[in-house]
Structure 1
């Protein structure tokens, strides 16, 4: 496997990337971020991804995330981006825009891969749930280190409403919720997931995870251990890089937790 790889994380508000040291998940250069084009049309986003590749002068394969379901390089949902992404061969679009081989996967799956391989989930058996709290809520589910891809648990209904509309980091900002109010919503949401999945560990990532001391201690009624992602908001970048390296070596992108 390569020693370093470029990872790019496409989000609803920002597109960010960096070359990653695959041995420990550290970023080898300062992260480069560009606002996600609004509206987030595929061609406009592809131009930004190409700009990130050009910024680093990268000439090898690239790992890239997408904030929705991805199956064989085709984007199947579009909750926080243009609906034109639905059914699009996005891996080919990005490959054409960048001139590079692209490995494309769900953003939360990428973050989960990074945390299971190099972060708080490393060596953890049983069921592990990764949640990324940002513009929406991403989820990644693992059982004994094996990824169940494209779970999208941010869209389950809680009290008759799509969960991410009430409990995402964006919802906290838009509604100007205090940490205690937001933690109460997260408690209800996580309790619902716990009732369905019975995880032994919940890893919380996304941009707001850097403020985890403000809300994680306030979450109530959840039996599972809840921890902050070791890679915080860089987990998506790192997971994308790991997936690209695995694809290059002929392996699948999921993290067995070893090698």
Structure 2
């Protein structure tokens, strides 16, 4: 594969949907329509693999000469998924990168979904050139987080799993967008939960910028003005496409042979 390519495929696996597209990595934009299929019930590895294969077939990008990045909602270390908050427990300790490579018959590059969304926003979006700590939160089935300090990715932060005092459920079970839908909360009632969550993050980390991604970010005007924070909070520039774009960008960067964190930093360094 050539490292001078300017396009790659990104696939973003989520708890409810699997999305993919061909990405222009110079502009940070989708070159194709976004293809989306439902995440299979139970989200077992074989079923998720079949769904990813369906996305690639629909896109017509099964050619191994085009780099492929896959984002996944779990802690990812050395290609292994080490958690399973919104997928089957089978993924815990699973050699996922090798599994997808064998199943797709091609090399892939595999990373945490919120981390790759952070990479996309650092290179092409709201975190570009931000000094200090930028904290991306993805509000969807769960709450994913990506920490970027002066553009350096700190991987696998998993701050959606902060515990609530005297409660059995964690932050994402109570404050994710899925909780709003499940409990049929108004924007105002849901914003009160988000207020607690972002207050907690402010107290713990003193960030310089919050960036809100995930599917609900397209409705940012409905809930961000309801929050009162010391830290500026803005919607992700690439909204729910950030995971696709970041996965594709990371795939191309890793063609150089660097690890995920090093590749992410190389991407950011090219724009600062």
TM-score interval (norm. to shorter): over 0.9
SS class of match (1:100)? coil
- Gaps of at least 5 residues in structure 2 are none
Deviation at 1:53?
A: 1.8
CA distance in 1, matches of 2:60, 2:265: 28
CA distance in 2, matches of 1:38, 1:25: 32
Choose which of 182, 195, 204 in structure 2 pairs with 1:187: 195
SS class of match (1:202)? strand
Task: Name the residue aligned to 1:154.
Answer: 160
Query: Relative to structure 2, which stretch is displaced further, 93-102 or 229-238?
Result: 93-102
Deviation at 1:102?
A: 0.9
CA distance in 1, matches of 2:269, 2:22: 21
Task: Name the residue aligned to 1:77.
Answer: 83
SS class of match (2:86)? coil
CA distance in 2, matches of 1:125, 1:8: 29
Choose which of 242, 247, 257 in structure 1 pairs with 2:249: 242
Choose which of 130, 136, 140 in structure 2 pairs with 1:134: 140
Task: Name the residue aligned to 2:44.
Answer: 41
Task: Name the residue aligned to 2:233.
Answer: 226
SS class of match (1:12)? coil
TM superposition outliers: structure 1 runs of 4+ over 3 Å: none
- For the Cα contact (< 8 Å) 1:50–1:98, is it kept in 2? yes
- For the Cα contact (< 8 Å) 1:69–1:75, is it kept in 2? yes
SS class of match (1:114)? helix
- For the Cα contact (< 8 Å) 2:67–2:248, is it kept in 1? no
Q: Give matches, 1:6-17, under 5 Å.
A: 6-17=9-20
Task: Name the residue aligned to 1:254.
Answer: 264
TM-score with structure 2 length normalisation?
A: 0.92
Deviation at 1:36?
A: 0.3
Task: Name the residue aligned to 1:22.
Answer: 25
Deviation digits for residues 40-97 of structure 1 (CA, Å, limit 9, x no counterpart) = 1001101111122222222133100010100011000000000000011101111112
- For the Cα contact (< 8 Å) 1:158–1:189, is it kept in 2? no
- Gaps of at least 5 residues in structure 1 are none
Task: Name the residue aligned to 1:87.
Answer: 93
SS class of match (2:71)? strand
TM-score with structure 1 length normalisation?
A: 0.97
CA distance in 1, matches of 2:193, 2:128: 28
Task: Name the residue aligned to 2:60.
Answer: 57
Deviation digits for residues 101-149 of structure 1 (CA, Å, limit 9, x no counterpart) = 1101000001000001100010111001000000000000011100110
- For the Cα contact (< 8 Å) 2:10–2:21, is it kept in 1? yes
SS class of match (2:264)? coil
SS class of match (2:27)? coil
CA distance in 1, matches of 2:265, 2:57: 28
CA distance in 1, matches of 2:269, 2:133: 17
